Structure 1
């Protein structure tokens, strides 16, 4: 080895030693390759110098902030993040006052959601998440029917999600275990952080649309723009196990959607179409109660049928069409309840709902940028809000029409599902209805990606007059406001 070669080897070795101290491991291989390319080192000498350095250099972890704090391992295979959301609402109604005290008509502030949790990835293939709702009431995350006083029950903490997701095949086929959101309905799959309006539509009835339940699921994106999900769940809702040892049938859920714009490589548009189907046997239970989209009057609350087993079938179709800052979205959901009552008489009842909505990003943000994995995600303003008003953040205007129809569930005949209402003890005779429609208009301000402020006006018309706590009305008008931050 001549002097120049010896010098090159010495310099190369020094560079490698310094690389460990100054985090230059990525460049040392390039330096050695350059020396080999110029003929100063042979390939064998280059490999000898590089061996044990760049490939084995210990990488350090990092802390980043993007939509929240995140810890990352140096090899990029593991991470953990603290997550949460706070949603403070206010609601006021034009038809409150009169009758018996009733929380459903009261002008109020409401801590709608207060989630705190953690999520992460371990060794590249194992995703996990655990989150708790500190604003939940009665462990369900929503108010129950009031007692005679009309007051809500005391708050309590409830588990929101807890799952393990195994991803061996690059999101083409993933396996999920625990309590998680089922693959059903575009509006439900979209997080409450990112929905178009303050509350979801009538399609979000618990009988029409399953939400978070305990079970197992296989899901994924086999090709660009196409998503699927197959799940088995308890069919009992969040934080509830199967409790009937005579009925072992699980809810079977299937979902498929496709975004034709993504398939075509069009980054300006969304041409999304999807469908979901669910079926399962369960202990006879009442069709889901329905509250207005203004979270006011609970206008539909049927009793459960008699008998030992009830089959519930449901399906949903969904679409979202967008180009640039303009979006149209809609869904239709149906649930069918069938079985034989204790007297041996068969019943077959249907419930359905739908909505159509239009949204416009006044400041020009593209909806396609926030559409990921078959659902809507975070909208990032083109320019974050600046208090000196040099930048106004993002602003969105939206309108929605929604209809709920359970007119098939309207009789006590055959002892089947009925519209005979079970009311709180001590209240006056009450009349509810089984059909309503609602109009919602909303304005949304997004100062930066993690914060939102919403104002919604919701007008609900009932098919027949509703009498609740001695107050009679054919409509409900609600003005709602939300301040939200998530990370």
Structure 2
């Protein structure tokens, strides 16, 4: 056999070996090919031909890998492309609550089991730039409610654009997910903040440790009355809401700490669909501050302006966190009286809370702080999962919170009986009783997180209510125990 035929045979054998080599051996295969050329077994032309085939095979394998879809569980059922640019996840949460009230103080409240939240949603990212989320709450007040539905463009981290139905940028406590709140319920203050609404906003992180958001919204909330499809011609006003935060610890490169300060402002006009103010206790029991309905819209009254100002701060170091917020809501009526049959003039409500929490098993609060809020998943240092042979303690947290709401601008004529007709109150004179305009509450909480997607919570809440001048307080306290079991993914 002549040398040319021999080289041809060797080239064919080498080619078969090269093309059938495992992808993980790519570098070694290239080395073998170069060695064969160097020893004269293959000519450079034959080697180039084999190398070209090998390069084509690599490119085909790379394209196949990029287009492949992988499935995994990463705090949700996740479908992800091989190049990591496209991702869709299915997420949900279920919160089962039990609430018990002190019968001798609020015997119009009954002990109850409740499905507090039952969310199921889909969210994802395309081209590592376009984000979306659609989430339904199966335990909504009117049945199944559309909770979130938005589209977000991340062309620049410093200036992102969001449009749809989502939370307005106001209040660190409200913006944090209900999956990760410190207590079973948020504070009294959050009942006054603008929450989920339909609109658009620009937001981002312009500098290290800073965030901002500015949005333009309908101003009447979600799934509410005739505004569900934005066809209410009376609600012609809109809401402008903005928030800015800075984490000084991040500016100082202190990774185990958070030194957060923030401020927010919201101006809303003609929100005539707000029928009345009705503040519920943190124990999710009775009403506290409850007003008459707002004055009827007419030729002499085009509604009112609602201006809200909020300040927030938090200090966290290692397993200890102190957090607080203050809010002022100012109601400026176009008519002489804000409320039907009520007193004249503008009305203010102020509210604030201060809370301290301690992860007694040593987990770090800085690990769950991102984007100007504590909204991440606390992961125990040692999971409690006996089925998998893990007998760790899980994560344990204790906490205390004091909340105060002052609506003393609302006088007796502006208010209604917060309890309604209570069987324990004589029928005569009930209209002049239990018209509260100040309330404060203490909450003590214990939380156990056996594994990252499961938590159990127990809260004791005591609420004190003060009546307006000239009104008799027959029952002015509520004591409640709230228990919760939660699973989320």
Give me the TM-score of the superposition, normalised by structure 2.
0.83
Give ranges in structure 2 of 5+ residues lacking alignment: 39-43
Give ranges in structure 1 of 5+ residues lacking alignment: 139-155, 413-417
1:157 matched to which residue of 2?
144
Give per-residue Cα distances to partners, 1:306-345, cap 9 Å, x unaligned: 5213111111111111111011000011111113216899
In structure 2, which of residues 315, 324, 328 is the aligned counterpart of residue 330 of structure 1?
324
2:295 matched to which residue of 1?
305
- Within 5 Å, which residues of 2 pair with 1:274-285? 274-284=262-272, 285=274
2:211 matched to which residue of 1?
227
Given the alignment of the two structures, is residue 187 of structure 1 paired with residue 186 of structure 2, yes or no?
Answer: no
Residues 185 and 6 of structure 1: is their aligned pair in 2 closer, same or farther, counting only changes over 3 Å? farther
Shift of 1:263: 2.4
1:135 matched to which residue of 2?
139
Given the alignment of the two structures, is residue 419 of structure 1 paired with residue 415 of structure 2, yes or no?
Answer: yes
Give yes or no for contact 1:173–1:222 (8 Å, CA) kept in 2.
Answer: yes
Give yes or no for contact 1:385–1:448 (8 Å, CA) kept in 2.
Answer: yes
2:349 matched to which residue of 1?
351
1:363 matched to which residue of 2?
361
Give yes or no for contact 2:162–2:200 (8 Å, CA) kept in 1.
Answer: yes
2:249 aligned counterpart, secondary structure:
helix
Shift of 1:364: 0.3
Give per-residue Cα distances to partners, 1:393-436, cap 9 Å, x unaligned: 10001000110111112254xxxxx2245887999534320111
- Within 5 Å, which residues of 2 pair with 1:86-165? 86-95=94-103, 102=108, 105-138=109-142, 156-165=143-152
- Within 5 Å, which residues of 2 pair with 1:256-267? 256-267=244-255
- Within 5 Å, which residues of 2 pair with 1:388-399? 390-399=391-400
CA distance in 2 between counterparts of 1:346 and 1:34 reads 92
- Would you tell me which structure has more helix in proportion to its own residues? 2
Given the alignment of the two structures, is residue 458 of structure 1 paired with residue 454 of structure 2, yes or no?
Answer: no
Residues 454 and 37 of structure 1: is their aligned pair in 2 closer, same or farther, counting only changes over 3 Å? farther
Shift of 1:202: 0.9
CA distance in 2 between counterparts of 1:463 and 1:72 reads 55
Shift of 1:210: 1.1
Residues 349 and 61 of structure 1: is their aligned pair in 2 closer, same or farther, counting only changes over 3 Å? same
CA distance in 1 between counterparts of 2:438 and 2:410 reads 10
Give yes or no for contact 1:247–1:309 (8 Å, CA) kept in 2.
Answer: no
CA distance in 2 between counterparts of 1:290 and 1:110 reads 20
Residues 14 and 485 of structure 1: is their aligned pair in 2 closer, same or farther, counting only changes over 3 Å? same
2:189 aligned counterpart, secondary structure:
helix
Give per-residue Cα distances to partners, 1:92-149, cap 9 Å, x unaligned: 11135886xx4xx1111111011112111123222111111111122xxxxxxxxxxx
The aligned length equals 451
Give per-residue Cα distances to partners, 1:8-65, cap 9 Å, x unaligned: 997577445544xxx64xx636864897799958998898455433344211211111
Give me the TM-score of the superposition, normalised by structure 1.
0.83
2:479 matched to which residue of 1?
477
Give yes or no for contact 2:337–2:345 (8 Å, CA) kept in 1.
Answer: no
1:217 matched to which residue of 2?
201
CA distance in 1 between counterparts of 2:8 and 2:311 reads 71
2:367 aligned counterpart, secondary structure:
helix
CA distance in 1 between counterparts of 2:345 and 2:105 reads 40
Give yes or no for contact 1:340–1:346 (8 Å, CA) kept in 2.
Answer: no
CA distance in 2 between counterparts of 1:422 and 1:362 reads 39
1:378 aligned counterpart, secondary structure:
coil
Give yes or no for contact 2:383–2:391 (8 Å, CA) kept in 1.
Answer: no
Give yes or no for contact 1:340–1:347 (8 Å, CA) kept in 2.
Answer: no
Shift of 1:348: 1.9
1:473 aligned counterpart, secondary structure:
coil
2:98 aligned counterpart, secondary structure:
strand
1:28 aligned counterpart, secondary structure:
helix
